[in-house]
Chains A and B, each alone.
Chain A
Amino acid sequence: MNFCFVYDGSFEGFLTAVFEAYRLKLPVRSFAAAARYSPNLFEEHYSIETSSEAADRVWKRIAEQGGEFIGKMIFASFLSELPDVERLIWEYLQKLFSEDGKTFALNPISAEAMPLIRITNSVRRERDRLHGFLRFQKLEEELFFAGIEPESHIIPLITPHFVRRFPQFSWIIWDINRKKGVFFDRKTVEEITIDRFHLPRFEDDFCKMWKSYHQSACIQERKNPLLQRQMLPRRYWAQLPEKN
């Protein structure tokens, strides 16, 4: 019998599942976040209760064997939320936790590392893009709001940048499709989840001027809409005032 470990969707939950897989010595074939899991006949599922203690131990072990760099890679690829990513990470971790795991961690072209590096790179590309493509609206004096629709669960990766950059007012970054967000109140960041969120959208003078600036900065003789779409993929347009 194959086992699928069902966890709560959080990174902690996933690390707990890894911990349990080791503890129970079960032939784990897959992992699934509860929200995305649909039972199937050929595997038995096993629900994991998240434990920060267990997660912590796995996290420390990753750091011991692979260092900070590998930890970041695993976290970033986890955030991709790709259907199969837990299995890829699981396969990587089994090697990393093995006897010569420390040597294994140094090899970027092992069969286990290459897919994770690729996923990590694409998650980081989206992070870098959103550092730029995210747009704040000024809701009121010193309160700003940004709605985003990223492919990966990017909020944990972009939040530090905005905390560093805009410490002087409060803001909300809201992942529209995941219905998750963060609220920064000039001191701390808090996670928020609200099921029905009224999305504000309005244009102030700066927004209007930005749109006309964007128009006039284009050199007509060099028009190249294909290149524009390559650099600024369509899926981000809905949240960009200059594209609406």
Chain B
Amino acid sequence: MSITLEQKLSILSAAAKYDVSCSSSGSNRNTPEGGFGCGAKQGICHSFTEDGRCVSLLKILLSNNCRYDCAYCANRRSNDIPRATFKVCEVVDLTIGFYERNYIEGLFLSSGVILNPDYTMEALIRVAKTLRQEHRFGGYIHLKAIPGASAELVHEAALYADRMSVNVELPSQKSLLFLAPEKNYESVFRPMNFLAERKTEYLAAPKSSRYTPRFLPAGQSTQMIVGATPDSDLDILRLASGFYRKQRLKRVYYSGYIPINEDARLPVLTSQPPLLREHRLYQADWLMRFYGFQFHEIVDEKIPNLDSRFDPKLGWALRHPEFFPVDLETADYEAILRVPGIGVKSAKMIVQGRRFTAIREEHLKKLGVALNRARYFIRFRGSLRLMNQRAVNEAVWSRQGSLFEPAGLLT
């Protein structure tokens, strides 16, 4: 019995959806001469699914016919599920058909391990190469580097892709070996380091023409599953921080474990995905990337897990009363950025604007500062000096509402 393209698409997109990355940012690839499609530096969201996640790329597996047996994965060998494999031309046609209608920014292609890692990597490359060379496609391509694939193939893939990712999957080598016996940290770090080094070399070389994009312009990302193993937030953030510094990753994604398989090594099927913990990790990640925080300022050996009650920025502020109040008239940008309730945009406006005008409450309101939180931590002309430990404690413990952020926001 043959299976239709539509059926394949539904199997292989459902199989890919647990990879949370859907970002299309970081690449400014120009439209190829005689072709179509281009990058958009900020990334573009084309739709949102009912879970509120952005749809930016056509995110599919080339095949879910996987030889491996990772405990946490729906596609593992030991599961009895419908299997399918795309032909190269099918993926190419779908990508172009969707792209032309402006449904997507491009393609995110991953795959189960079909015969062996090299065979699988080659198939992914064929798709990307056909899009780039035959169709002169300039849209976004994110390819998964299959753990264990050879360096040459990983390198070739990076010539066509805007971004590549190798998923570290779990926050420690021990957890990975426990749940994914065919994988290990070596098979993750080798391609990651390799790509990071190549990218550094390419960046140093002169750019030849407007149509040759930089090597892997949108860099690398990775993902780890949160809540399937006993690893702490400290383990997770320490690892992530290393990825940002050493491998120069663009993004680390945290995926709250959703129980799909019955397995003694895993949380029971009825357990809830740890969405709040995942949310706090993203906030912490944000602090490391945009707010100048080090991971050990956010969690440490004494307090290895993020507080579920408030966001990590507020958590830091509450542990560091000596840092406050921050004087908005004189403090430097980095210090203003540490105030709960003040975000990157408003911090910049404050620093620029205070050269002309004394900062007052009405400015802060109009700049979008969450004054009900920020007020305990700042001083400005005409402000009440509310910042003392008692006021803060009161705000935190009795009038909790005002210090707590609306869901999903971090400033």
Contact = CB atoms under 8 A, between A and B. Distances in A.
Contact of B273 (A209, A210, A222): A222
A226 B5 CA distance: 32
Contact of B100 (A107, A138, A212, A227): A138
Interface string A136-179: 11100000101000000000000001001111110000000000
B42 interface: yes
A223 B51 contact: yes
B352 A224 contact: no
A114 interface: yes
Name which of A144, A164, A210, A226 has the most chain B CB atoms within 10 A of its CB. Answer: A210
B366 to A, nearest CB: 5
Interface stretch (A58-66, A69-77, A190-198, A228-236): A228-236
A135 B47 CA distance: 11
Nearest to A109: B353
Interface in A120-144: 128-129, 131-138, 144
Contacts of B352: 106-109
B273 A221 contact: yes
Contacts of B273: 221-222
B96 to A, nearest CB: 9
Contacts of A136: 100-102
Contact of B47 (A109, A168, A240): A240
Given A109-B349, A135-B101, A208-B6, A242 B38 contact: no
Q: Chain B interface mostly helix, strand, loop or mixed?
A: loop
A167 B103 contact: no
A165 B52 contact: no
A225 interface: yes
A107 B359 CA distance: 12
A33 B9 CA distance: 50
Interface residues of B, number: 55
A107 B408 contact: no
B31 A167 contact: yes
A219 interface: yes
Contact of B52 (A114, A161, A208, A230): A230
Contact of B58 (A128, A144, A213, A224): A213
Nearest to A161: B40
A221 B258 contact: yes
Contacts of A221: 258, 273
A34 interface: no
A164 B139 CA distance: 12
A110 interface: yes
Interface of B: 5-6, 9-10, 13-14, 17-18, 31, 34-38, 40, 42, 44-56, 58-59, 94, 97-98, 100-103, 105, 258, 273, 275, 349-350, 352-357, 359, 363, 366-367, 408
19 contacts: A109-B353, A109-B357, A114-B366, A118-B366, A132-B47, A132-B105, A135-B101, A137-B101, A144-B100, A166-B36, A213-B98, A216-B10, A217-B17, A221-B273, A222-B275, A223-B50, A225-B52, A227-B51, A230-B52
Given A108-B352, A109-B357, 4 more contacts: A107-B356, A209-B97, A214-B49, A232-B48
